[in-house]
Structures are given as C-alpha cells and as structure tokens.
C-alpha cells in the first residue's frame, strides 16, 4: 500500500485550461463552455479515485474505501477537517476542488492579473459591507484604510467604484470569472455554496 503516492496523485493540479471543447463547440472550433469544464472535472475525478484506490490496494466499490481515503488525506493535509459548514465535510471533494487551477494558469508570467484584482476588490467590498457601510462609502475610504492602502492606495474613490461595478458585471456575465472568484463549486447545480462568502474566503483581506 502506498498512501503517499495515492494522496500525491489525488492532489495534482487540475487545469481548466486543459478542458477540451465537446459537441457543437468542438464542431465549430469554439472554446469549451461551463458544461465542458464540469464534464472534464468529473472525468478527472473518477480517474483519480480509481488510481488512488489502486495505490491503496483497495476497490473503489468497497464501502470502506472513502473512509480510508479521507483518513489518508487528513493525515497529509489536516486543515481539510476544518473546511465546510457541515459536521462531517466531504474531505475528498474539498481536496479535489482545491486542486483546480483557474483559466490562464498555464500561461507564462503572472496568470489572471486583472481577474485577480477584480476578485480582490469585489471580495473586500463584500466583506466590508457586512459592517453596514455603503459601497460608495467603502470605495471612498479603501485607499486610505489600514491594511488596504497597499492594495488600493494608487486608486481614487471614483476609480474603485467603477472597477467594483465592472467586477459585478463580470461575476454576472462571465462564468470563467465566477469560477476564479468563488471556486468551481459555483458551477455545480446541487451546490449550496454562498458565492459572496466563498469570494471573501478566497480573496478578501478581512482586516
């Protein structure tokens, strides 16, 4: 049994850049859409679970296999136990979701720089809104607030407000940005994730 190899295999990055277009998208040489990426993710997941089972000398159909795999993942990454809001989070799915790399991660240089800034600003504003401040008020103070000055000091209030509005439009119209902002779970129909809370967790300074 090779537990280390099973965990290492399971936690290899999954690049959305590698998702192939299928169906009409492939026929018309169009880029992959959200359905293509979801299908790609599940194919990778199934293959990795099967390979991990082989490394653990187990069968993927064995009802004890998920528990064995969870224990192995937790031993190598204990913080997985603290993820999720339920009493017993789905450690395997959480670990796999963390391996997903957003679009642009295969490119040279700093990937997704503009998306990163949009996501940070959106998340910071959403976090500060919890303190009952208006968006206008938040944007007028971000460039001078302690902890935020380094991130936003070069922008004035008007520029930050306009950029925040652009981030909201991106969130509503661009599924690739939604994945970058809140994680791939936002694409799953059965997901109960709060996109704003997930964005705060992934991108906000929270100071």
Q: How does pLDDT run along the chain (207 residues), one tens digit per residue?
A: 688 888 888 888 888 878 888 888 888 777 788 888 888 888 888 888 888 888 888 888 888 888 888 888 888 888 777 644 444 457 887 787 778 877 666 654 444 336 888 999 999 999 999 886 789 999 999 999 988 988 998 888 998 998 999 999 989 888 878 888 888 888 776 677 889 999 999 899 988
Nearby residues of 47 by Cβ (< 8 Å), 6 or more positions away: none
Structure tokens at 50: 């099967």
Q: pTM for this one?
A: 0.54
Q: Is residue 199 a contact partner of residue 181, using CB atoms and an 8 Å limit? A: yes
């Amino acid at each position: 049994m090779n537990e280390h190899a099973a965990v290492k295999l399971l936690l290899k990055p999954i690049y959305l850049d590698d998702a192939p277009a299928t169906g009409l998208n492939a026929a018309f040489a169009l880029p992959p859409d959200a359905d293509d990426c979801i299908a790609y993710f599940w194919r990778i997941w199934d293959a990795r679970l099967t390979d991990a089972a082989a490394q653990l000398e187990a069968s993927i159909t064995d009802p004890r296999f998920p528990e064995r795999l969870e224990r192995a993942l937790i031993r190598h990454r204990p913080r997985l136990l603290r993820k999720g809001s339920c009493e017993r989070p789905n450690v395997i799915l959480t670990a796999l979701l963390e391996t997903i790399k957003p679009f642009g991660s295969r490119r040279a240089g700093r990937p997704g720089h503009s998306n990163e800034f949009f996501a940070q600003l959106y998340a910071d504003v959403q976090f500060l809104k919890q303190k009952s401040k208006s968006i206008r008020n938040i944007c007028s103070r971000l460039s001078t607030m302690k902890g935020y000055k380094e991130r936003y000091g070069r922008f004035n209030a008007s520029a930050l407000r306009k950029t925040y509005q652009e981030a909201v439009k991106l969130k509503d119209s661009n599924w690739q940005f939604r994945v970058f902002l809140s994680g791939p779970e936002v694409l799953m129909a059965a997901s109960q994730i709060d996109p704003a809370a997930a964005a705060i967790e992934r991108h906000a300074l929270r100071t």
